[in-house]
Structure formats: C-alpha cells, structure tokens
Amino acid sequence: MSSRFSLKTPKMFIRTRYEKLPGGDSQSASPLYRSGTWSKGYRSPSWANRLQRPRMSFARIVMLAIVSILLVSMTVTGIVKGRWKHHHHNKGDDRKLYHWEHYPRLRGLFNGVRTLVPYSDYVSEQNFVKYSQSANPEDNIKQRWPIMDKEHKEPPMDPIRFNPYPKFDSKDYLKNHEEVHTCYLDEDEKVELPDIYAYPGIPQNQTAPSFGSYEELGLNDKVCFDRFGRFGPYGYSYPREQGGFGLADKSEKNGADKIWSTEPKLDYGKVSWGKAQKRCYEKNKARFLKNVTQSDSDESHVQKKKVPRHAYILRTWTGYKYSEQQILTIRAMINELALKSGGEYDVHFLLHVKDDSIPIWSSDEFYEKTIRDNLPEEFWGMATLWSEQQMRLYYPEPFPNNVYNHAKAPVHSVYRSAHFPLQWFSQVHPEYDFYWNWEMDLRLTGHYWEFNTKVGDWARRQPRKGMWERASRYYIPELHGSWKNFTDMVEEEMYNSDEKPVWGPPKFENAGMLESPPETEPPRTYLADDYQWGIGEDADLITFNPIFDPAKTNWVFRDDVSGYDLELPEPPRRCAIITVSRLSKRLLDLMHRETYLMRHHMFPEMWPPTVAFHHGLKAVYAPHAVYFDHNWPLGSLDGTYNHPPKPTDSVFGWGEHNQLGNSFYYNAGFSSELWRRWLGGREYDQGGPIEEENGSGRLCLRPTLFHPVKHENLNI
C-alpha cells in the first residue's frame, strides 16, 4: 500500500497492544459453550482473549475505511477484467451462426476400434439417422454391434497386412512388364521394407463422406486404419532405444501389439532414405527406360509395357520444423511410393532458401550445409534448393499488363509464383512423366501408393466429353447416384444452360498465343462423340478440388493476370484452390514456355488449370472422399457448393465459410481436428487417451486426404 500511494503509514494506525473489551470473558461465539455438562467450569485459554473484537477507535475506523475501499476497488477490477477476458475468449459464441452450423452434428467418425464390424454389416451414420425416424419400429434400420464391455476392450477383429500392389512376380504381370526387383532399406540388402496394417472392417455408424467415392476411384473402402497399424511399422509406437519414437506411451493401445507378431521393429536412426531410393531405381530402371530390356533372351524381344515415372515433390522451406508425426508420414511416402513399388516414384524435397544472401550457387559447402541445417538427417540426399533470387534470373521481368495484384507482392514472390520453382524443377529433371505438387500440411490415413496410383488410373479412364463441366462440380454420390448418372446429369444441365461445352482449345481474342499440341484438336464434333475421346489418355492435370471459372466468383485473386493485352477482354481462366495436384511433363513444358516466351503469368492456383484449358489438355478433378462435421441436407449441399445463386455466394469466394466444417480445403477447420483426434489427441475437450480407454477405443478411418494440418501438438 505504501508503494502504491507513496505515503508512510501514520503512527496513529500502529497498535502496540490489544485492548480488552468490557464483558469479554462472558461472550461466546457458539451456544455449544453454554450447553452441556462438560462445559461447566470451563475457562477460556489466555490466547482466546486476544481474538475478541477490538475497540473501534477513530484511528481504526479510518484505517478500516481505507482498507475496505482498496478491497472493493481490487474486487471490482478483478471482476471487470475477468468478464473482459471471458467475453473475448468466447466472443465467437456471440456471433451469428452460419446456416450450416444449425444442421445436426455428425459424431460417427469418432467411433473407435471396439465398434468394428464387417463391411457387410456397416451402416453409415447418415443412413442410420435417415432410416431410424419411423414411428413403426419394424420400418427402422436394423444394425449389428460388437460386444463392448470392460472384458472386451480389444477390437473384435485383428489387423491384417495391407498390400495394394500388383503381384509383381505373377505370370500375368511379367507377360507385359519387366521384372520387378525387390528393394531394401540397407546396402547389404538384409533389412526388408516394412508393411502397414489395416482392420478388415469399419466402425459401426461411422460417418460416410459427403463428397467423393472410394468405389469410383478404385480404393479399398472395406478397411480402416488406426494409428498403430498405419504408423507403427515406421517407428510410431516402439521406444527410441529400439529405433522408434515411442509416441504411444499414454495412448489407448488394446490389441495394437498384434502387428509385431509378423512385423520387425526397425531402427530408423540408421536409414538413409535417399540412398535406398537411388538403389531401388538402379535395380529396376529397365522398367522405365525406353528400348531397354534386362536380357537378350527370346522373351526380352517381346515389347513390354514401360511404367511411367513420378516425381513426388514436397514443397518445404528453410526454418521448417519437422514434427515426429510428420517424419512418420514422410517415411511412409518414401517406402510406399518409391521402394515397395520398385522405383515408380522418387520423393524429392524442393527446399525454398528464404535468405537470398546465402551463396548456395557459389559453394557446394554452403549448399550441403543448408540442407543439413534444414532437413532431418535421414532425408539428406533428397533435397533440391531454390530461391526467389534464382527465379528472378531464370524468369526475368517484365511481366507486363497486370490486371490487379491483390496480394501487393512482387511477381517472383513464392506467394504469387509458387509454380516457378516447379517449372524449373521439371526442366532440370526431365526424366519424369508426372510431377506431384505436394504441400507440407497434407496428411493421408490411407496407403500412399494405392491412393496416388488409383487416382491416376481413374483419370486415365475419363473421357474428354463433359470433362471440364464435371470437373467444376462436387460429386455427391448420395444425391447424384453413380458416376455415369452424374455424367448424364452434368450434360443435361449444360444443354439447359446458355453456355457452350468446352471441346478442344477455346477460341478467344488475344494478341499472340503459343500453338497448342496438334493432338488436342478434337477428332470429331462434340455431338458426334460418344464419350470415347480421351479414354486411355493420361491426364495432364489432376486436382483435388473442383476446377472452376474464377470469373463467375468473387475469389480475390481472380484478376492477378499478367502479360495479356489490356485492350482486350481478360482471357478465359480456370482455377483449383490449393495447388496440390499431379502435372504432366507436357503441361509443365507449356507452362515454362508460356512464362519465359510469352511473359504470361497468373496466380498459382489459376496457372496450371488455365494453361491446360488454353491448350486443350486433359484435366480432371479427382472425387476423393471429403467428410463433414454437420449433416447437411443433400439439396442444400448441392445448391451451396454446385449451384450458388450469385457469384458472391460461391464457396470459392465469400461463401468459403461453408468449407470450415469439412476435411479438405485451404481453411477447413475440421481437417486438423479430425487428424489430431485420429492421432490420439484431445480437441475441444473431447477425445484423448482417457476417453478412448473408457469409450469405444482409438479412431479407425478409411483412406482420407486431410488439408490443412498446421500442427501436430497433441493435447493428451
């Protein structure tokens, strides 16, 4: 108090002795002291007298008044501060809810491994709700549940090894393909590659995806993956002394140890993934190189199919922090895509050096040091460095006639030109047929080779007729039915609109364009084609969100267009939010030439789809499974996402709040929540080890691609 008011305590407030009040000996605070025989003759101890109420002198009254004022002041201040903090902490609770937040919450994705049932018994959460509303019990859906009690904490079925690869050693495969040589983790070829495990069932009432279809893509939808079967073989659960990360100490793990009856625990501290990847390719390069066979035997003269090669490019940067969970994810990528496939993929780190002053192009020592300082040791030998300064030299300015630079950033900044280093990479690594542009905040519960390869196979089967129109819409199987029905529906919608279908390279006013590849000219008219053109042709572009026309939305970067004549209308454009995609060498070559020859430029999400559109290349949106945390009515889901009433309602513009509650978009909040729950974390006071142990167990999800996952700091 003295420091606060800069005053010394007055002497009159200092008491040197207690003053005894009259009659104090006869007073008692409780009737207990006046009743009962045991209290007779009771004498208060001497210390009790000192606890009696003191005489209220003027000095004491003044002091008590001041103290009371101070106490009231501090109490009021604390209440105000508490209410302020509470208001700001919960300020989101007072906002007006979005329309989709009024729909019922879906909880089935959080059903754990103790609820596993065979796929034939599985009933989705949405179907259970839909067919369990009848007043007549006989009309309601019947479903089977496994036994769940304190004596049955293990899953009702055992995990099985998951192997999506062809039988590389079968006669049918070898009849048309070169031999596939087994790859190993070590140079002595003694350490075999790990397998992953899945449960042969689905948690009962697990939520079904609202968008996309496992069946349509050819993915196995009858199994699910828990964190132990998915990441255990890569070191998730066993201790560091054995070469793992030991991340499962506090985790619910009933039945998880069963995978170790057939799977060894590998010491990943001794693995060099880059060297293993190179050895694997060298053993199997005859599978990929044209006019190369493995022997001069008679069988070798039979023309064998060559397998396309893929570069799987992880876009990272200096200073990026690799969590242990992400290291597990990258190990899975390399093992499943590159090694177990016999070299079909190479995983690369395309590492952005943010500091232009580091002389990485002048010194091998600085180049390697930059890699060592910014990558975990097991991934050394897999990185390619690039910088914005390098891109300024490789693609020099000017890029004239910009319509509107909403980002207010330089054209060579990674924010506006993330495609520049990808184009450059394709020129210095021309040996690949396809390049996967993969972001660091992507996660996958499924098997990487199965997911990426099946997506590519599906794209190859797609006809060009109606291709761009289908790619602009979300596929909702529960509403649209089969893919063929969806195709027919899109064609009917197109016929009933004022728009012409896209058929080959579009014609538009321009001041000069590169010639398109001659094979992109349609072989027949649109009406004459019976959905045949394009079948069997690999897609030049595969995206994981719809490819839409940004001119029909108010997406903020739609006018970041440079290099075209401003006296003419803006060129027609296409866009896919999130740059994650598979691009062909043909597309990247055209993007490269459009950049350095024509000085054409667009925002990264627009550039690959627009170049593919302008030059008549094959582009598709892969309908992978996307989950929602609310049970949208199907009509509202289709109307909001596929048929917004006006541009400002588009889910790719001001209507992007609709994406918050799903598992895949740039701002999808549900994505991180579900991923961390799957890892065993606690989110929004739900989930975590205790709830899993006392409830239905750890989560088990079907193959799901998540974006974004900005961190994996688990609250357990």
pLDDT digits (tens, 9 = 90+) for 313-360: 999 999 999 999 999 999 999 999 999 999 999 999 999 999 999 999
Rounded CA separation 18/32 (Å):
26
> What percent of the chain clears pLDDT 90, i.e. is strictly above it?
80
Strands 443-444 and 160-162: unpaired
Mean pLDDT score, 250-258:
94
Rounded CA separation 316/318 (Å):
7
pLDDT at position 39 over 60: no
Residue 684, both tokens: 């929004």
Residue 109 has what pLDDT?
98
Contact 383, 351 (CB under 8 A): yes
Q: How confident is the model at residue 74 (pLDDT cuts 50, 70, 90)?
A: low
Phi, psi (deg, nearest 5) at residue 88 = -75, -30
Rounded CA separation 472/490 (Å):
10
Mean pLDDT score, 224-240:
97
pLDDT at position 588 over 50: yes
Q: What is the DSSP string of 89-139?
A: HTGGGGSPPPGGGGSPBP-GGG-BGGGEE-GGG---HHHHHHTS--SSGGG
Give the amino acid at 421: P
Contact 274, 377 (CB under 8 A): no
Which residues is 621 bridged to in the sheet?
543
Residue 264 has what pLDDT?
94
Mean pLDDT score, 361-368:
95
Rounded CA separation 542/581 (Å):
5
Q: How confident is the model at residue 37 (pLDDT cuts 50, 70, 90)?
A: very low
Strands 345-352 and 541-543: unpaired
Query: What digits encode the pLDDT tens for the residues 459-499?
Result: 999 999 999 999 999 999 999 999 999 999 999 999 999 88
pLDDT at position 9 over 90: no
Burial, 24: exposed, middle or buried (Cβ in 10 Å; 0-12, 13-18, 19+)?
A: middle
Q: How confident is the model at residue 298 (pLDDT cuts 50, 70, 90)?
A: very low
Mean pLDDT score, 130-147:
84
* CA 497 to each of CA 316, 569, 591: distance values in angstroms, whole numbers, following the listed order: 43, 22, 32
Query: What digits encode the pLDDT tens for the residues 188-204?
Result: 999 999 999 999 999 99
> What percent of the chain clears pLDDT 70, i.e. is strictly above it?
85
Helix residue spans in 232-321 (DSSP H): 273-284
State which H helix or E strand residue 543 sits in.
strand 541-543
User: Rounded to a whole number, what is the distance in angstroms from the first to the last CA of the chain?
Assistant: 43
Q: How confident is the model at residue 302 (pLDDT cuts 50, 70, 90)?
A: low
- Least Cα distance to 361 among 339, 389, 392, 331 occurs for 389
Query: What digits encode the pLDDT tens for the residues 446-455?
Result: 999 999 999 9
Query: What digits encode the pLDDT tens for the residues 601-618?
Result: 999 999 999 999 999 999
